[in-house]
Amino acid sequence: GVGDMLDEVQVEGTFPDGTKLVTIHHPIATMDGNLELALYGSFLPVPLADCFPLPEAAVATQLVQAPGGVLTVNDELVLNASRKPRALQITNLTDRPIQVGSHYHLIEANPYLEMDRKRAYGYRLNIPSGTAVRFEPGDRKTVSTIPIGGNRVITGGNNLASGVVDEAAADGIVAKAVEKGFHHKPMVVSPEEEARNAVAMICRMPRSVYAQTYGPTTGDVVRLGDMELYVTIERDLTVYGDECKFGGGKVLREGMGQASGLMAAQVLDTIITNALIIDYTGIYKADIGIKDGFIAGIGKGGNPDVMDGVVPNMIVGVNTEVIAGEGLIVTAGGMDAHVHFICPQLCTEALASGLTTLVGGGSGPATGTNATTCTPGPAHMKLMLQATDVIPMN
């Protein structure tokens, strides 16, 4: 019910010394709450809780998932499963915190992060896509790293190692980095320890947390609104560990999830990330690519230089806009084949009910339009097209 859909309440109070913002997470925690506090200052009598008995039907359905809720198996997903992880020790030599994102090229990282830069060459952090590791001042951490995916091309960062990853060039790249003031400290790891790390440093994520972060995946069950209809996701076209995430410090950044050096014609205009698609082709999750106003592709979007499984016509570049589709359902719009175009408000009502195409006619609140679905003359058609130019309706 309401308690499940209301995740948080924010109250901002103004006081003589300034404003204070209080955020309450999961504010509806009990069935009745504290009625005395709720009515404090209202001068209304406090009723007994017995006045509000719980309906028997509600008791029977307490275990039913909340409207729009996601049911997941109590299990974990392995991220970046096709790549072998290995350890890398990193020390923050500065007096301020430094964050490194999931897809940032470690060889290019902050010069005051001391690490084995040869070992870091061609690698990134083995953490969930779009997250980061924070190194506090003086922090020394041993982190899990994995080879970058896709075509294994490094771009962006500090321009130390741009180009296809080439192990033969690693020593020269590290020497150039040291020359420019980047801290480098060789790390010695025995073969036995390397083998142990390959197992111990696998990146796992609980399915429930994954669904909250990237949307439901294969096998998860979603309740459709407040109906007694549940759908099971049949397949996921994204790649675990290489999902597209947008926002401060997230994946869709230059040289990471966003390809470098491509013209607008070579990349998507818009990408909808991690959307749940429900239509005649199935129930599945994918990125949706839009080009020139049309759906150009459905699958895995991103940067093929560093990501696995990117569809050739779904490359994200500097000219690509992003819409976060996590937790949202995308489906084909409906069509109404008999519409009297009496007023523009009917388009608002149609969009609210899922209709994106209206077939009919009329010229506004005229007697002829009330009776028929005809737009009688060229002048009427011109004016009607002009009047609806700003409405996103076919």
Please, is 131 exposed, middle or buried when counting C-beta atoms within 10 Å of its C-beta (0-12, 13-18, 19+)?
A: middle
- Distance, CA of 305 to CA of 163 (rounded, Å): 10
Q: What is the pLDDT of residue 1?
A: 66
Task: List, in sequence order, every residue forming a beta bridge with 10; answer none if it has no partner.
Answer: 23
How many alpha carbons fall within 13 Å on the CB side of residue 21? 4
User: Tens of pLDDT along the chain (394 residues)?
Assistant: 677 778 889 999 999 999 999 999 888 887 777 888 888 999 899 988 788 776 665 544 445 578 888 999 999 999 999 999 999 999 999 999 999 999 999 999 999 999 999 999 999 999 999 999 999 999 999 999 999 999 999 999 999 999 999 999 999 999 999 999 999 999 999 999 999 999 999 999 999 999 999 999 999 999 998 889 999 999 999 999 999 998 767 899 999 999 999 999 999 999 999 999 999 999 999 999 999 999 999 999 999 999 999 999 999 999 999 999 998 999 999 999 999 999 999 999 999 999 999 999 999 999 999 999 999 999 999 999 999 999 999 9
Which pairs count as long-range contacts for 35-42, CB under 8 Å and 24+ apart, including other chains? none
Q: What is the pLDDT of residue 55?
A: 62
Task: List, in sequence order, every residue forming a beta bridge with 339; answer none if it has no partner.
Answer: 360
Q: How far is CA 197 from CA 70, 79, 186, 206, 352, in A?
A: 34, 16, 18, 21, 53
Q: State the amino acid at position 293 in one-letter form.
A: G
Domains along the sequence of the chain with CATH: 2-71 (no CATH), 82-201 (2.10.150.10), 207-330 (2.30.40.10), 334-388 (no CATH)
Q: Is 135 helix (H, G, I), strand (E, B) or coil?
A: strand
Q: What global pTM score does this model have? A: 0.82
- Distance, CA of 220 to CA of 346 (rounded, Å): 37
